Structure 1
Amino acid sequence: MRITCPLCGDRDRREFTYYGAADYLARPGMDAPAEAWDAYLHLRDNPAGATRDLWYHEMGCAAWLVVNRDTISHEVLSVRLVTDAQAEGGTA
């Protein structure tokens, strides 16, 4: 699999570290109830198809990325910097 880093260009997947669903960017507030924190920390979907994931460009520019990809075909649909994704919609 190849990922096109917005800063470094097309790279092999081995330069990146997968960190899970981009849902982690929607952290509950400090005053959120325990149920919200439980869901944030422990409950994740495992879809077959399109996903939004967090990846870290460990062997490159050290950027955090939101990668939209298809888990069935392994096609990378889009890649954005986390900071850009948050600026456009509040969360990734």
Structure 2
Amino acid sequence: MLLIRCPWCGDRDEVEFSYGGAAGVAYPADPDALSDVEWGEYVFVRDNPKGPFAERWVHSSGCRRWFDAVRDTVTHEFGGRS
């Protein structure tokens, strides 16, 4: 079981949170100009690194706020904020 630190509520059990994907993924500047292939890449293709990875999380069963966190994908330990 993971212990995740919410910046507003403190340490909580992982069941209170929902994963939101990679942090820092910018929305396309001109979405109408993207082809179907480019949209598919934007929506579905993400890095899958081994080690520290910046992620988005929401405290869905708590304060419902979104935050960025760095999680090690090997050990699942949470580090500093991204």
Shorter-chain TM-score: which interval?
A: 0.7 to 0.9
Given that 1:28 and 1:36 are in contact with CA atoms closer than 8 Å, whether structure 2 keeps it comes out as no
**Residue 32 of structure 1: how far off its partner (Å):** 4.1
Unaligned runs of 5+ in 1: 81-92
Counterpart AA for 2:21: G
TM-score (norm 2): 0.80
**Partners of 1:58 and 1:48 in 2: how far apart?**
26
Instruction: Tell me the residue number matched to 1:56.
Output: 58
Asked which structure has the greater CA Rg, the reply is: 2
Separation in 2, partners of 1:5, 1:43: 27
1 CA distance for matches of 2:55 and 2:12? 17
Q: Which runs of 4+ in 1 moved over 6 A?
A: none
Amino acid corresponding to residue 14 of structure 2 in structure 1: R
Q: Residue 74 of structure 1 aligns with which residue?
A: 76
Tell me which protein shows more helix as a share of its residues. 1
Residue identity (%)? 44
Q: CA RMSD in A?
A: 1.9
Q: How many residues align?
A: 79
